[in-house]
Amino acid sequence: MTDIKVVIQAGGRGTRLHPVTLETPKPLLTVKRRPILSHLLDFFISYGVEESYVVISHSHKEDFEWWKKRYRGELPKKTELVVEPEPLGTFGALKYIKHKLSDKFILSNGDELKRFDLKDFVKAHEENKDKPLATIALVRVENPSDYGVPVLSGNMVKEFLEKPKNPPSNFISSGLYILEPEVFNYADFSKGFLMIEKDIFPKLASMGKLAGYKAKNSAWYDCGTFPRWEKAIKEW
């Protein structure tokens, strides 16, 4: 898997963790005294990933430059910081690097801890007879009504229910996707701000080109609120 590239979204404001994230960007908060972003890259490196792009906010550029220097020997061979001049959502900033993503690639949120069989995930995407342009890694949680829950038909995603009162399953998006470069054909970058969950995935789902992969033996922690961050610190 050394040829697959990874893009990590690390430019969010982390408003639910204010005032802490006014000083430190959420992906650089620590779990077991190691930045969440470093844990995430450890996961990808363990599967041979050698090239990564980290999308960051201009306001936290110095923080991430310090992080890159501090952990220089523990990152993929090529790790590039991609600076957003302004908030562009979970997909908008990819316009700066799409010319470097000419083959399938992985896109991940940068504020979650993840551990599962990445090789099996990529294999499931590649061998899916429906030839999806995107596959979402799904994880089982006890509180799916707190998240977006996919409606599946087989292994294809038909739609997403945002925080449903009666979720159809306990599987939610893990914030990690494998994408084909053709997804850029469905992005109107002239809008600037783009959310993959709202601007890309619904289009793909309507065309039968969005798949779901139920991760097996997974570990996943959302660190987006103080209770969830504390839980990750105690259990990771």
Which residues are designated catalytic?
Answer: 163
Distance CA(158)–CA(75), nearest Å, equals: 36
Give the up-direction half-sphere exposure of residue 127: CA atoms within 13 A in the CB hemisphere: 7
Q: What angle do CA 159, 13, 134 make, to 5 degrees?
A: 30
Helix (H), strand (E), coil (C) string for 62-117: HHHHHHHHHCHHHCCCEEEEEEECCCCCCCHHHHHCHHHCCCCEEEEECCEEEECC
Give the up-direction half-sphere exposure of residue 117: CA atoms within 13 A in the CB hemisphere: 11
- What does each C-alpha distance from 129 to 26, 132, 156 come to in angstroms? 38, 8, 11
Q: Which two tokens stand for residue 156?
A: 């294809």
Query: For residue 210, which phi and psi values (nearest 5 degrees)?
Result: -120, 120
